Amino acid sequence: MRDFAYLRPFGIDEAVQLMSKHQPGARYIAGGTTLFDLMKLGVEAPSTVIDITRIEGLRDIDASARGELRIGALALMSDVAEDPVVLREFPALSESLWKAASQQLRNMATVGGNLLQRTRCAYFRGSPEFACNKRVPGSGCAALGGQNRGHAVLGGSDACVAVYPGDMAVALAAFDAMVDTVSPRGARSLPVRELHRAPGATPHLETVLASDELIVRIRVPRSGVGRASSYHKVRDRESYAFALTSAAVAVHLQGQGHRVTDARIALGGVATRPWRALQAERSLLGKPLTRAAARQAAELAFEGAVPLEHNGFKVALGIETVTDALMLAKERS
C-alpha cells in the first residue's frame, strides 16, 4: 500500500472543497470495507483519503415525509435493515441488506459506500499479469476467455463482463429510489438505476458520478408497492457469499383474482449493473399472479442473455430465482 494523506472534514461543504483541491487522486472513505481492500491489493492507490464519517446529519433514517423514505449516505447497512419503516414498507430492501456480507461488515459499511462497491472479478482484484480493462484501460479482459463462472450474462461487452456485486442497489432499483449528490457545481438527484454505467468500451467508468461528487442521501418513494416484496438470493453457500443470481421484486395485487396492477423486477448477480426487467414487469400487468405467469415474466427477464463458457447455468437459475421471488412476494400481499 502506498503512502497517502488523510483528511477529516466536519461538513459537506468542507468535504467537497477538499476533494476538489486534491484532485486527481483523492477518494472519499466512510466505512472503508471496499476502499481499504482495494488499496491493499494495489487496485486503488489514492494520494489523499477524505474521511467523511464526522459529517453530521448523514446517518439519519427519516420517515417523516409522507411521500418518501430518506436514508443518509452514512447510515449503516445493519441500521437500515432493522429500521421499522423499512421492515414494514420495503421488506425486500431489508432482506437485501441482511443477505449481504457478514454481520461485522454490515455494522461498519455505509449505504453510500455500498452503492459504489466495485466488482469481485478475480482478474480485476488479481495481480497485474491478468488483463483487466477496469484496472488498466485498454489491457483487455481475461475473463472473456478465462474462468467466468461468476460473471455477467446481461449487459456485458467485448471489454468487460464483470458482475456488479451489490444487493441493496438491486432492491433500490426495483423501488425507483433516487440518489442525491453534491459537488463544486452544486446538488443534483438521479435515479439509482441510472447511477451505474454499462461497461461498453469504457468499463473503468463505473458510474455517472464525477470524481468530485459525493452521495449524501438515498430517497425511496413510499408508493405502497414495496409492502408485498421480496429479495431472493441464490449463492454457493448460505452466508458470506455474493449472489450467483438474485431478484428484488414487488407486486401490487387487486381483487379476488389477485390481478397485478403494479410489478417491479430487478436482477442481481447476473448483470454488469443493477438490472431492471421492464418487459418482464409489463407482462404481468392485468393478469392473476400464478406460477405460470411468474415464470413467463422470468423468462422475459433473461431474453437477450449472452452466456459465457462457464456461466450458462445462470440463465436457468435466474429464471427460477425470479419465479420464486414473485411467489414469495405474492404471499405477502
Q: Which is more confidently placed, 66 or 189?
A: 189
The three-class DSSP label of residue 270 is coil
Average pLDDT, the chain: 95
Distance separating alpha carbons of residues 285 and 291, to the nearest angstrom: 14
85: left (phi over 0), alpha (psi -120 to 50) or beta: alpha
User: For 182-225, how does the pLDDT look when each residue is reduced to its tens digit (9 = 90+)?
Assistant: 999 999 999 999 999 999 999 999 999 998 999 999 999 999 89
Query: Is the CB of residue 172 less than 8 Å from the CB of residue 219?
Result: no
> What are the residue ranges spanned by the domains of the chain?
1-55, 61-116+169-221, 225-331
- CATH classification of 1-55 is 3.40.47.10, yes or no? no
Handedness of CA 275, 38, 112, 228 (dihedral sign): positive
User: For 131-157, how does the pLDDT look when each residue is reduced to its tens digit (9 = 90+)?
Assistant: 999 999 999 999 999 999 999 999 999
Q: In this structure, what are the phi and psi dihedrals at residue 49, rounded to the nearest 5 degrees?
A: -115, 125
Distance separating alpha carbons of residues 124 and 161, to the nearest angstrom: 11
With a CB cutoff of 8 Å and minimum separation 6, the contacts of 46 are 4, 25, 26, 27, 35, 39
Indicate the class that CATH gives domain 225-331: alpha beta
State the architecture of 61-116+169-221 in CATH terms.
2-Layer Sandwich (3.30)
Of 26, 167, 191, 20, which Cα lies nearest the Cα of 101?
Answer: 167
With 0-12 CB in 10 A as exposed, 13-18 as middle and 19+ as buried, what is 312? Answer: middle
pTM: 0.96
